[in-house]
Structure 1
């Protein structure tokens, strides 16, 4: 890893990248191509506009939009003005977005116009109309003073992106540098609200130093290089997209190609046309690329690095990426928002079986242990809750001391809520969420483990398992399965196969075939929807 905290803040990193990689292509967004020098100038302009609008150190600035050059510029501009970034999930409905805006106290919002057929402005206006506030452009959000639409048109009481940027023309470079001089590593850089798949979203507070150190390590372990061409499909509102994407690229001078939504045809076209070398993403994304019938009509030969992460990463997925696509480096990792998005990572040179069956070892500067119900460590090979200690652990949940006390032990260890197993070498295997585990006749059943076993069946493309009530055993498994195209697999076939391949308590007692599993924008299966439909 280069040096020890080469940059003291994210604005320092942006300016250093603009100097060091000035002529290197920084972002490709459709027909727009900007160099690092140009990106630095755009970020300065956005920061100046934030300062001109009265955004001060520590003010929250929210961003509700899909991956794009404008997202990158708005986010880095806000942070360079000393603000704390609050990215909003693009899958949120208006009421969910309004809730996060209200709880974060955001003073400024950058929002997309229409995305996937939905007017985010109209959606937010409807939700905010239910409030009682009178200040600002939206009732019910009194702290929100201005809404900037990342488009050429905006409602009369909002502002266009172009008009917003023009408002900062009177703010000079000296004023910007004076502003960022007040930032240091301990300053908050962002509040990342959790996806909310298991409850009410909570805002994890992360600092500049945590962000910079974590993603310098990520870039080092992944082997990210200057002039790598990085297709960023992971959403920017998520740490995997923003920090393992934008921030990591800034540390190395890699080229960012943001893709606003995952579409396999678009991804294949981008990989071929832009000579993509780096493609992080969830296993489902990679599997769909491999299985696409037109894959062989695209030149994917430049692809050299894939990073993925999930409880279930089939060994044959790793083998196919290496064998069929010739990807030299395939790595798995594990992280969560409360730990700056990164806890463990495999290392280049690890065996395929280690990469597929584990999420690697603790990153430098952190410790991982697996604990029993009483919080005491359990032996290697024994499942328990994953606990994390080190520089990545959040400063707490924003304005939620009760939730913070529940998540952090008195001595600072983060309770992840994930069930995992450590092997003798320190490799972590995530087996499930504590809340997803169910008990079959006294045996703990971990859905992710059962899903991984089901994934070995040649006719199974995807699977999710939940526990359902059973009069005799208390709970049993129910599997939701996506069949491979044309497969004649029946529920009885799969249950019979499962009885041969896994312990009896793990065998699903019922199987429901579906065309796809419900997933959030981070690629995680939303098991709450499966439970509601059971």
Structure 2
């Protein structure tokens, strides 16, 4: 994939022409449309002072126009700074200033009313570098009707601008999944984005007959790489949904006979438990990935059985590694792949710190390869701490390799609970509790405690209509865990606080539990 985004869209237009690439709200865009319309938007941006290297914010929910504007910016060689649509005004201002954004392109609508309030708070005082805000709509009609072929002079001008862009030039600044109050941005090149997407398409065996139901946010590397760019690389058709709602996703899969659905664990579980789930016919699904957060073997198998996806895959990735790091085998048995996240993609190496190549030893996962960031934007100290002396990137995740070279995730370095000097992996305790009858979901956390450092707390959501005997649950844990790993407290929830990317917000959960325990 040693090409630029311009070469990428031109090649797709030449190969697939009038084949439908994107469907959004019933409107269709062909592969030729994507190339032509992004050229037209490219001319618009160039005429408004944007050029190679300009940092342009993109703040909009999923839409076909988001995709066209994104492609246009990448073709110019501008840096598309992708913003979460849930940001507050203060968070957005902080992120704009940190990312050196001089132009901001916004959608006319978003998932929440706070979106417009957020924009209204952006002014010269809060974002002094911002020169102009552009607004885009969510309807394709005006864009389709206003399109015209570029003149000979415009076409020549475009060719010159495209030729100035190198595959190694940065085209994206994507924020990591954590809080944006003090944002950490990752610069990625066109080469990294397109090569990672091609690897995802290869591992998932996507092709021209592929039909993807895409609801992951495009401002996040998972949705951008594994849904959009991987689908385009393969010549497939991508059905874009603006936001996640279980019924909308199920309807999209049924209506369009979708063959692929990628999602975080909470999405699959929400769809699985939707009251009308069995009324939808979704047997067209062939593959997809469950990623974005830890997935227990039981959850993976439950999802596999419920959706009957014969080639459902586990995957492990990070924003710092252009989304994809590992994929499980396409034809591997579901039972086998439920226990691991697979092997590294081509061009990526992986090792376990302290394991010295030996299987079964847990340590921090470290990686090296084409997909690894050079560092966090404008964060020299933070970047240096992320890399080892010999150039490997520390992921912050704990894992181990089995004898076949498959990676098993065992926890997060930052989420380790330290009790009386002993390190406890929440994932290990959660896996044990999940095997007990009546458990819908569980999150194990550590809260500050005098003398022992941290108290282990199990936060549990019970299945509907279930009650459990806590002593019997503790007895169950004692059969499988050392005594120091047994939670001192069990707290019950109807739901967990969910962060902006669909993962459980551990920080908020800790605040809730700490407040509850303080009242006891």
Could you tell me the TM-score, scaled by structure 1's length?
Answer: 0.89
Alignment-derived partner of residue 460 in structure 1: 439
Structure 2 unaligned residues grouped into runs of 5+: 515-520
Residue 148 in structure 1 maps to residue 134 in structure 2: yes
Which deviates more, 498-507 or 402-411? 498-507
8 Å contact 1:59–1:83 — kept in the other structure? yes
Aligned-partner Cα distance in 2 for 1:78–1:399: 21
Report the counterpart of residue 344 of structure 1 in structure 2: 326
Aligned to 2:51: 56
Aligned length: 509
TM-aligned CA distance change 1:80 to 1:441, over 3 Å:
same
* Structure 1 residue 205 displacement after superposition: 1.3
Distance 2:431 2:179 in 1: 21
Kindly state the Cα deviation for residue 435 of structure 1 after the two structures are TM-superposed. Answer: 1.0
Deviation at 1:377, TM superposition (A): 3.6
1:231-310 mapped onto 2 (5 Å cutoff) = 231-310=213-292
Maintained 8 Å contact 2:174/2:220: yes
Report the more deviating stretch, 233-242 or 448-457. Answer: 448-457
Paired residue secondary structure (1:436): coil
Q: Deviations over 1:418-461 (max 9, x none)?
A: 11111122211122211110123343211122222222233122
The aligned runs of 1:90-169 (5 Å cut-off) are: 90-126=85-121, 128-129=122-123, 138-151=124-137
User: Taking structure 1 as reference, are residues 140 and 442 closer, same or farther at Cα in structure 2, changes over 3 Å only?
Assistant: closer
Match for residue 77 of structure 2? 82
User: Structure 1's 268 and 176: CA in aligned 2 closer, same or farther, altered over 3 A?
Assistant: same
State the shift of 1:468 in Å.
Answer: 2.1
- Counterpart selection for 2:462 from 476, 480, 483: 483
> What is the alpha-carbon distance in structure 1 between the residues aligned to residue 197 and residue 76 of structure 2?
21
CA positional deviation for 1:238: 0.7
Q: Does 1:360 align with 2:342?
A: yes
Deviation at 1:310, TM superposition (A): 5.0
Shift of 1:230: 0.6
Q: Which runs of 5+ in 1 are unaligned?
A: 130-137, 154-160
Counterpart residue number, 2:393: 414
Which of 160, 185, 188 is the matching residue for 1:206? Answer: 188
Residue 390 to residue 17, structure 1, CA distance change in 2 (3 Å): same
Instruction: Report matched runs for 1:27-46 at 5 Å.
Output: 27-46=22-41
Which stretch shows the higher mean deviation, 450-459 or 88-97?
450-459
The change in CA–CA distance for 1:508 and 1:471 in structure 2 (over 3 A counts) is: same
Which residue does 1:518 correspond to in 2? 497
User: Is contact 2:340-2:408 (8 Å) kept?
Assistant: yes
Q: Specify the SS of the correspondent of 1:242.
A: helix
Q: Distance in 2 between matches of 1:108 and 1:311?
A: 33
C-alpha distance in structure 1 between counterparts of 2:397 and 2:34, whole Å: 38
What TM-score, normalized by structure 2, do the two folds share? 0.92
1:362-411 residue CA offsets vs partner (Å, 9 max, x unmatched): 11111111114xxx746321211111011111122112211111112233
- Asked if the contact 1:421–1:430 (Cα under 8 Å) also holds between the matched residues in 2, the reply is yes
